[in-house]
Structure 1
Amino acid sequence: MSRRVVITGMGVRAPGGAGTEGFWDLLTSGRTATRRISFFDPAPFRSQIAGECDFDAEAEGLSAQQVRRMDRATQLAAVCARDAVSDSGLDVPGLDPHRVGVSLGSAIAASTSLENEYRVLSDSGRDWEVDHRYLSPHMFDYLTPGVMPAEIAWTVGAEGPVTMVSNGCTSGLDAVGNAVQLIREGTVDVMVTGATDAPVTPIVVACFDAIKATSPRNDDPEHASRPFDLTRNGFVLAEGAAMFVLESYERASARGAHIYAEVSGYANRANAYHMTGLKKDGREMADAIRDALDQSRLNPDAVDYVNAHGSGTKQNDWHETAAFKDSLGQHAYRTAVSSIKSMVGHSLGAIGSIEIAACALAIERGVVPPTANLHEKDPECDLDYVPLTAREQRVDAVLSVGSGFGGFQSAMVLKRPGGAR
């Protein structure tokens, strides 16, 4: 029998909150952290809003040399990984380093630094032939995504499997799913895992502008992200990171560790349909949900809360609403569903891990985060989306789902820890 896997530490950096507690306070208060972009002048763009982290790397304890070397996304992940290890209470130097691994997710890796370097090398795009004399000595780090999890491994002292997972917007779920599998099969004892992205840059904003995926509601940034609302018109780009310490239930119990939740099931599928489009029936997501529930040995009616992908695009919200009905049956109408993207925006590859943090805290604290800005319900989205206000209720099992460009569909089940499976 494979080993049960639990979360014993976490660290979060998300828009609008300082650390994990600030993040949770934002969610449970129903506040939004989306605002006009301040990192650069967004005036030329169709969508001029984002969820930005108030993050000072040196104030967070990174050295000036680390800040120079690491991309912003890597900095976010490193700080979160440090917090997760501290939160777990693990004596990492006392562990066999070859039995500690890292699995990191990111959709667009070091895009911030790559864009900055191109701007310098090309003199802000004026020169077609770039001038190599201005090349950063850290360019290799920015070009090679595998450097990011390597930095995390150096930060925490891990010498086991080190992996980069880049599956678009499901990367945060898939990276943790990969870590779970490594512990289940006995390859490692401890995994430091999660995801990060810092995509609030001109080129990324321009790319989403081109396909009109992001909201142009620039006059009202706080209310622009409105998943499942009839007036929704796209998602709000964001940045952030969340990292976790995972270990076996037996190991965590033996050392008296605080356990947030058990990761009891994970599955992913691809729709092989379209790079950005989704079929309205949600069949592939529904299949991933059923697989994750089967691994958890749970019936659909055991799900107390669904953390939706809930990006705020019309096709996504229709797609996953259909998937919930297909996989959960009539229980879908009795289950609380919400999207935290309504409050912290969509941080691409990072959001899946940030949502895992929200799910684990919902189990531990008995509160379901709301869907902010949901005032006018779309008749085609007819489930209980917990509008506007957080809901106190016992949560024993949570389903979290993700959907990404390329057709990726992922599902994860988290359960209240303790007891025999």
Structure 2
Amino acid sequence: MTARRVVITGIGVLAPGGVGAKEFWSLLSEGRTATRRISFFNPAPFRSQIAAEIAFTPEAHGLSQQEIRRTDRAAQLAMVATAEAVADSGLELDEVAPHRVGVAIGSAVGATMGLEQEYRVVSNDGRLDLVDHEYAVPHLYNHLVPSSFAAEVAWKVGAEGPATVISTGCTSGLDSVGYACELIREGSVDVMIAGATDAPISPITVACFDAIKATSPRNDDPEHASRPFDRTRNGFVLGEGSAVFVMEELESARRRNADIYAEVAGFASRCNAFHMTGLRPDGREMAEAIRVAMGEARIDAEDIDYINAHGSGTKQNDRHETAAFKRELGQHAYRTPVSSIKSMVGHSLGAIGSIEIAASVLAIKNNVVPPTANLEHPDPECDLDYVPRIAREWRTGTVLSVGSGFGGFQSAMVLTEPDRRAS
């Protein structure tokens, strides 16, 4: 029996510097950065005072007052991204059996902003040891349980199939799309609404990353603070965002003459079982995920046209994945453009994997490789072609997108032009 092939037919993106897929791609292709001083709260007490925020108000994007009242910002981002993806796909969901439509949403930190805000209220800004629950919003439970994200999206589109939240740290956005792909391939559903969302820019998150010195303290120059693969880098820049996709079985999409962006040709995930935050320098586990994803896609190293790197801007990550690319792609790694969009939109934790999938798919559509902004002083230990500062016109029929997350998670996905692979 021939395996069902899975394609992306709709994209919705809310990212720093660009609400909507069109604005998002404009930012990337122009090499602009959206990293600025934090405005959501006073960041003065913190070591790192910068982030990549979205100019987003839920009312302006059609959410009702009731939806706004009961949801955290991360859920709101996902709901708006879902609406854009469904409209972009041209799919009439009311013509699909509801139980054949599923939802998979990735998130690393859930309703961080809502939970922190409510804790401040019930504890009277931390003054009370015994909090007073009567001051909490009626829908606090929705903030506590991340599964509410999948439920909100499912309600939004009338999906009655599987509805799941995938939470695997910073690979959540890749893993949720990989999981959605498997559900379609096995025949459990015909359509998946899949992607990821996170809105972590809050004092508690900033404090946590400050404690382990993972984020950049380059507060005097926030626009140029995110510097993946640059020898002057000193940590990542926190971000927020959401990207959601409409995914369908290939032949079904063709029958309705859908505009197909790309095929999800291969996916794999591994764990290094090594350290909560540390990475082995040889990149073996990421290389293994890449190998399995390429095998599933039935491609060789020479078929990879572009690598969308995790590229967080920490020394151990940049060197780890550089080693992984060399380990698995061999000499072809030196001929393949690699770039990190975190240089422009920051690191939105669980959401970034899906946002990077969106960037990869749009790179395929436009035959353009987005740049690694702020790459001025290449790290000699990172000696591949990282497309510094300026986007490049390039044949991008097959893209490898990778992610790495706390806990030792390593994920890889191969995306191809819809007609590039043989049936």
Give the alignment's TM-score, normalised by structure 2. Answer: 0.99
Aligned residue number for residue 207 of structure 1:
208
User: CA–CA distance in 1 between the matches of 2:31 and 2:147?
Assistant: 36
Q: Find the residue that maps to 1:245 and give its secondary structure.
A: strand
Identify unmatched segments of 5+ residues in structure 1.
none
Structure 1: which amino acid aligns with 2:223? Answer: E
- Distance between the aligned counterparts of 1:53 and 1:128, measured in 2? 34
Residue in 2 aligned with 1:75?
76
Q: Secondary structure at the match of 2:400?
A: strand
Which residue of 1 is the match for residue 156 of structure 2? 155
Secondary structure of 1:6's match? strand
Q: Deviations over 1:298-338 (max 9, x none)?
A: 00110000000000000000000000000101000000000
Q: Identify the residue that residue 62 of structure 2 maps to in structure 1.
A: 61
Paired AA for residue 267 in structure 1? A
Tell me the residue number matched to 1:308: 309
Using the alignment, how far apart are the partners of 1:392 and 1:221 within structure 2?
28
Residue identity in the other structure for 1:128: D
Alignment of 1:391-402 (within 5 A): 391-402=392-403
Partner amino acid, structure 2, of 1:348: L
CA distance in 2, matches of 1:166, 1:133: 30
Give the match for residue 146 of structure 1. Answer: 147
SS in 1 for 2:24: helix
Aligned equivalents of 1:369, 1:119: Cα separation in 2: 40
The whole-number CA distance in structure 1 between the counterparts of 2:386 and 2:394 is 14
Q: What displacement does 1:293 show?
A: 0.3
SS at match of 1:242: strand
Q: Deviations over 1:55-90 (max 9, x none)?
A: 010110001111111100000000000110111001
Per-residue CA deviation, residues 352-386 of structure 1 (Å, 9 max, x unaligned), is 00000000000011100000000000000000000
Which stretch shows the higher mean deviation, 135-144 or 316-325? 135-144
The residue correspondences of 1:209-228 to structure 2 (distance < 5 A) are: 209-228=210-229
Q: Bigger CA drift: 39-48 or 130-139?
A: 130-139
In structure 1, the partner of 2:338 is: 337
Separation in structure 2 between the aligned mates of residue 135 and residue 316 of structure 1, nearest angstrom: 40
| Partner Cα separation in structure 2 for residue 269 and residue 46 of structure 1 | 33
For the aligned residue pairs, the C-alpha RMSD in angstroms reads: 0.6
Amino acid in structure 1 at the alignment position of 2:46: F
Give 2:69's aligned amino acid. Answer: R
Q: In the alignment, is residue 198 of structure 1 matched against residue 199 of structure 2?
A: yes
- Match for residue 252 of structure 1? 253
Alignment of 1:57-206 (within 5 A): 57-206=58-207
* Alpha-carbon distance between aligned partners in 2 of 1:110 and 1:54, rounded to the nearest angstrom: 19
SS at match of 1:59: helix
**1:357 and 2:358 matched:** yes
Distance 2:192 2:206 in 1: 33
1:10 aligns with 2:11: yes
Give 1:180 deviation, angstroms.
0.2
Distance across 1 between alignment mates of 2:141 and 2:389: 45
Amino acid at match of 2:154: A
Secondary structure of the 2:56 match is coil
Deviating 4+ runs (over 2 angstroms): none
Match of 1:378 in 2: 379
Tell me how far apart the structure 1 counterparts of residues 395 and 318 of structure 2 sit (CA, whole Å).
26
Q: Give the unaligned 5+ runs of structure 2.
A: none
How much does 1:393 deviate?
A: 1.1
Deviation of 1:18 (Å): 2.5
Specify the alignment match of 2:281 in structure 1: 280
* Equivalence for 2:35: 34
How far, CA to CA, are the matches of 1:358 and 1:254 in structure 2?
26
C-alpha deviations, 1:244-279, integer Å up to 9, x for none? 000011011111000000000000000000000000
Q: Secondary structure of 2:316's match?
A: helix
- Cα shift at 1:135: 1.8
Alignment of 1:36-51 (within 5 A): 36-51=37-52
**TM-score normalised according to structure 1 size:** 0.99
Aligned residues: 421
Amino acid paired to 1:73? A
Q: Tell me the CA shift for residue 136 of structure 1.
A: 1.4
- Amino acid in structure 1 at the alignment position of 2:19: A
* Paired residue secondary structure (1:194): strand
Indicate the SS of the match to 1:235: coil
The one-letter code sitting in structure 1 at the alignment partner of 2:381 is E
- SS of 1:58's equivalent in the other structure is helix
Deviates more, 1:338-347 or 1:122-131: 122-131
- 1:321 and 2:322 aligned: yes
